[in-house]
Structure 1
Amino acid sequence: MAVKLAMIFFSMILVNNYVLVQFLGICPFLGVSKKLDSAVGMSAAVIFVMALATSVTWPIYTYLLEPNGMAYLQTIVFILIIAVLVQLVEIILKKFMPPLYKALGVYLPLITTNCAVLGVTISVLDEGYNFAESLVCAVGAGVGFMVAMVLFSGVRKRLEDAQPPKCFEGLPITLVAASVTSLSFMGFGGVIENIFAGH
């Protein structure tokens, strides 16, 4: 069991990274990754919301929606739950961490529409994970989001000092850098499975 949980966790960070491999959550990835502290703060909020959303949506789907033939309401119900949880995070940050709340600005409410959060709540059900596996998957996906944000924050810091050709300045060089960072994560495909294959 522990080996399977470890495999799920590390595969969500390296092999199935929601941002760099599955291309979910690109909006905050490009918007908040300019400064390291904002990137880490946003990522911590996303990890918290992903774990909390999964811990709430999994039992609701498993014990309420599916047994009563209402599985088709899954997406609507999950979006509403995520919206409520994001409001909760926003209230907590505003009360206890005002500088981080101001630094995140408009991107904090955007966690509601962050498809990575919705994606993890749906994918754990599609994979057939139990509750523990779902939570590990959600936390792993959140940590993977943080790894992507922190790495790209460093890349963007280096880009500020670079002098790309005029036609690449601004967004174009950012997108090229994002694609190269994404390619580096593609190299992890199959590595996690091989590491845990003997167990």
Structure 2
Amino acid sequence: MKDLIIIVLSAVFVNNVVLSQFMGICPFLGVSKQLKSSVGMGGAVIFVMVCATACTYPVYMLLDKFKITYLRTVAFILVIALFVQLVEIVLKKVMPPLYSALGVYLPLITTNCAVLGVTVANIDNGYSFVQSVFNALGTGLAFSLALILFSGVRGRIEHSDIPETFKGVPSTLIAASIVSLSFMGFGGLFG
């Protein structure tokens, strides 16, 4: 149990998929304008990451059995796309305002390199099935944490008096780099 907690905490703080590994930057910058959409996207990504990991792990074992592991990326993307479609259908029916707020970024979860990255990293790190699921949960929480933190930062930027040349994308990227640097302090936390 201790190992699983370390995997989750390490994924959230030390190896934060957005702030340390720079994966999933497109939805991070696109959806983090409002807290509500950040929370919604975070929840969707957590669901897709955990479910995709739970399915891609056995798929990889099957590919390995037939010695066709070179097909893992294609197989993993198909599994991820299945869960993204499921999330999209449910959100459209249950939460239409959130579905509209997420817009084009919801179907882009399919090509979100953070989701694919966690499924591949689980295999490359030699995690067991349970460890893989916990790593996916931690990575999803890390993605959500980054979105939620940055939505607050962007809210502050919006109401700040900054020079005209830094308004918009430059101030957003500078703020993202500062938030990213703050997570480097967790670097030696877990060995």
**TM tier relative to shorter chain:** over 0.9
> How far apart are the structure 2 equivalents of 1:9 and 1:156?
27
Percent of residue pairs identical = 60
1:134 corresponds to: 132
1:129-158: CA deviations, max 9, x gaps? 000000000000000001100000000000
TM-score using structure 2 length:
0.99
Cα distance in 1, alignment partners of residues 96 and 158 from structure 2: 28
The alpha-carbon deviation at position 163 of structure 1 amounts to: 1.5
- Is 1:178 equivalent to 2:176 in the alignment? yes
CA deviation after TM superposition for structure 1 residue 192, in Å: 2.7
Number of residue equivalences: 191
Report if the CA contact (8 A) 2:153-2:175 is conserved.
Answer: yes
Give the secondary structure class of the aligned counterpart of 1:18. coil
SS at 1:94 equivalent: helix
Alignment-derived partner of residue 4 in structure 1: 3
Q: State yes or no: 1:39 paired with 2:19.
A: no
Q: Which residue of 2 aligns with 1:196?
A: none
Secondary structure of the residue that 1:187 maps to in structure 2? helix
Distance, in Å, in 1 between the alignment partners of 2:162 and 2:122 is: 41
Of the candidates 93, 101, 104, which is equivalent to residue 103 of structure 1?
101
Structure 1 window deviating more from structure 2 (121-130 vs 89-98): it is 89-98
Structure 2 Cα separation of the partners of residues 16 and 144 of structure 1? 8
Amino acid at match of 1:22: Q
- The amino acid that maps onto 1:86 is V
Structure 1 residues 159-168 or 174-183, which shifts more?
Answer: 159-168
Letter in 2 for 1:41: G
Greater shift, 184-193 or 108-117, is seen at 184-193
Alpha-carbon distance in 2 for matches of 1:92, 1:3? 35
In 1, Cα distance between equivalents of 2:162 and 2:2: 45
Structure 1: 4+ residue segments shifted above 6 A: none
CA contact (8 A) 2:59 2:75 kept: no
Aligned mates of 1:92, 1:166 — CA distance in 2: 41
Shift of 1:102: 1.0
Consecutive unaligned residues in structure 1, runs of 5 or more: 194-199
Specify the alignment match of 1:158 in structure 2: 156
CA RMSD, aligned part only? 0.6
